[in-house]
A and B are shown apart, each in its own frame.
Chain A
């Protein structure tokens, strides 16, 4: 297999159709009145907002903007509003700053300098808002995690990844960008640098230590059981980089699963309790 950019190309019209069908069918079977999703102003959540709106109608979709003062960026708010307007969905803004400040104050061991632990509170607080809206309005939470982030574990456990459905989770970041362009997003927005917005100036590619164009090809190779040697050679990158990506992918499986429990009884949740996922 030749590991070059064309392997990540998709039949975008077909992908759009399949995702829209997936969302529509899920909502119908769940008997839900629509979708609530977080809109960060980034391309993943923008794409999910667009697809949700195209699938079930914008009047049934609420995009929540959940800014907080440390990472507040008016461009993100404007980008989210642009998408909402373009695809006809409703939005609401909830400033989560007061909630976060109270969290920080009431945690006896809170450490202001530990930006990861602090940032995770932000992601989990956003999740609480989304689920409040979902519960209250009989909607489901639609997540916007992509495959690159999910494979790398680049998300907050029970935070930004928490959702009822994640329509983009089988698409790499660069594929999401292409899908966004196919849906009519301006290039500037589709190519906007990705950030989880857990602290100021945070950028995904800087943290991951690799450009998405390269990361996605490494992950694509790993997904297809290629060796780290083959991948490094084909992409002309250092083998330690590929090994680092592989190790990270394998070490964060715990973030993608239900909590582990010891096998004690006849059928066990998370291992051999295999039941269809009912949405109705």
Chain B
């Protein structure tokens, strides 16, 4: 595993329901990132299809691996990069059960996937109407590091990030489709999740406007001590290349020893009290 990797925060604006065009854009951004020696290129939540899909999602969801993931696997092989992107995943076992999924591919093909665990269904969000939640956190040991993934609203639940970290992730990727009115929350939570877990946190948000919903962009890389290492533009498409130096984790862990100080006995209490809320 490399001590240092170059990350590309590929903050794109997706064309709703147009996988062909979005795949082209993913290719274009990956090629640009490759020119700047990126090892891992990260695209936002549902970047393959756009976020505001309503019932059209049934026409757009694909099994994984499927045609779109195959194409992005080909791109990863061709460029020698690792790529994470979001798409609606159709269950292999049913006809219309869909997950909000992050896909991870590398030069050697498919690495793994993460299914969003917490589905926002409030305000402008209606994800529980369409998606089944995932039940597993994800951390993948790869040549670009031990990379964990979760999606957007999962960040509001610290246990998701904590579990991902406890599985060994040192770079935690949060892909997102967050509207502008929620920008403050994510700016706080991205720093908090990185700091409390002493891990790098790469947050990649959609940009652009879908059905009046404005995504705020602002993708970022946060250090294991909560420092903002790189930040993309607000609102607009952007490609930011930044560096993760895994050697920074050890001093962070000694200075902020939250993992050493974990108290597992509280988790039982947490379980009990959340069941009786």
The answer to whether A276 touches B17 (Cβ under 8 A) is yes
Say whether A86 faces chain B, with CB atoms less than 8 Å apart. no
Stretch at the interface among B23-31, B53-61, B81-89: B53-61
Say whether B264 faces chain A, with CB atoms less than 8 Å apart. no
Separation in Å of the B16 CB from the closest CB of chain A? Answer: 6
Stretch at the interface among A177-185, A206-214, A267-275: A267-275
Chain A, range 212-270, C-beta contacts under 8 Å to B: 267
* Distance between Cα atoms of A62 and B180 in the complex (Å): 30
Say whether A132 faces chain B, with CB atoms less than 8 Å apart. no
Separation in Å of the B19 CB from the closest CB of chain A? Answer: 14
Q: Write the B37-59 contact mask toward A (1 if CB under 8 angstroms, else 0).
A: 00000000000000011111000
Stretch at the interface among B142-150, B159-167, B206-214: B206-214
The answer to whether B54 touches A274 (Cβ under 8 A) is yes
The answer to whether A276 touches B214 (Cβ under 8 A) is no
Say whether B235 faces chain A, with CB atoms less than 8 Å apart. yes
The answer to whether A274 touches B180 (Cβ under 8 A) is no
| B interface bracket (residues with beta carbon within 8 Å of A) | 10 to 19
The answer to whether B212 touches A276 (Cβ under 8 A) is no
The answer to whether B56 touches A22 (Cβ under 8 A) is no
- Collect the chain B residues with CB atoms within 8 Å of residue A273's CB: 55
The answer to whether B211 touches A276 (Cβ under 8 A) is yes
- Collect the chain A residues with CB atoms within 8 Å of residue B212's CB: 22, 277
Chain A, range 21-46, C-beta contacts under 8 Å to B: 21-22, 25-26
* Distance between Cα atoms of A277 and B180 in the complex (Å): 19
The answer to whether A18 touches B17 (Cβ under 8 A) is no
For A, the interface residue count at a CB cutoff of 8 angstroms equals: 12
- Collect the chain A residues with CB atoms within 8 Å of residue B56's CB: 275-276
Separation in Å of the B244 CB from the closest CB of chain A? Answer: 31
- Collect the chain B residues with CB atoms within 8 Å of residue A274's CB: 54-55, 126
Give the nearest-CB partner of A29 in chain B.
Answer: B209
* Distance between Cα atoms of A21 and B53 in the complex (Å): 21
* Distance between Cα atoms of A21 and B208 in the complex (Å): 9
* Distance between Cα atoms of A275 and B54 in the complex (Å): 5
- Collect the chain B residues with CB atoms within 8 Å of residue A277's CB: 211-212
The answer to whether B55 touches A21 (Cβ under 8 A) is no
The answer to whether B209 touches A22 (Cβ under 8 A) is yes
Give the nearest-CB partner of B13 in chain A.
Answer: A25
* Distance between Cα atoms of A275 and B58 in the complex (Å): 11
Separation in Å of the A238 CB from the closest CB of chain B? Answer: 32
The answer to whether B55 touches A25 (Cβ under 8 A) is no
- Collect the chain B residues with CB atoms within 8 Å of residue A275's CB: 54-56
- Collect the chain A residues with CB atoms within 8 Å of residue B214's CB: 18, 21-22
* Distance between Cα atoms of A141 and B240 in the complex (Å): 38
The answer to whether B17 touches A21 (Cβ under 8 A) is no
Separation in Å of the A141 CB from the closest CB of chain B? Answer: 16
Q: Write the B146-189 contact mask toward A (1 if CB under 8 angstroms, else 0).
A: 00000000000000000000000000000000001000000000
Residue among A18, A275, A276, A277 having the largest count of chain B Cβ atoms under 10 Å: A276
The answer to whether A276 touches B180 (Cβ under 8 A) is no
* Distance between Cα atoms of A276 and B56 in the complex (Å): 7
Give the nearest-CB partner of B16 in chain A.
Answer: A276
Separation in Å of the B218 CB from the closest CB of chain A? Answer: 13
- Residue of A21, A267, A276 near B209 (CB, 8 A) is A21
The answer to whether B52 touches A276 (Cβ under 8 A) is yes
- Collect the chain A residues with CB atoms within 8 Å of residue B55's CB: 267, 273-275
- Collect the chain B residues with CB atoms within 8 Å of residue A276's CB: 16-17, 52-54, 56, 210-211
- Collect the chain B residues with CB atoms within 8 Å of residue A21's CB: 209, 214, 235
* Distance between Cα atoms of A56 and B235 in the complex (Å): 18
Q: Write the A41-60 contact mask toward B (1 if CB under 8 angstroms, else 0).
A: 00000000000000000000
* Distance between Cα atoms of A183 and B239 in the complex (Å): 32
Chain B, range 54-74, C-beta contacts under 8 Å to A: 54-56
- Collect the chain A residues with CB atoms within 8 Å of residue B235's CB: 17, 21
Given A276-B16, A276-B56, 4 more contacts at CB 8 Å? A22-B214, A275-B56, A276-B54, A276-B211
| Chain A contact residues, CB within 8 Å of chain B | 17-18, 21-22, 25-26, 267, 273-277
16 CB contacts below 8 A, A to B, read A17-B235, A18-B214, A21-B235, A22-B214, A25-B208, A25-B209, A273-B55, A274-B54, A274-B126, A275-B55, A275-B56, A276-B16, A276-B52, A276-B53, A277-B211, A277-B212
Closest 6 CB pairs of A and B: A274-B54, A25-B209, A274-B55, A277-B211, A276-B54, A275-B54
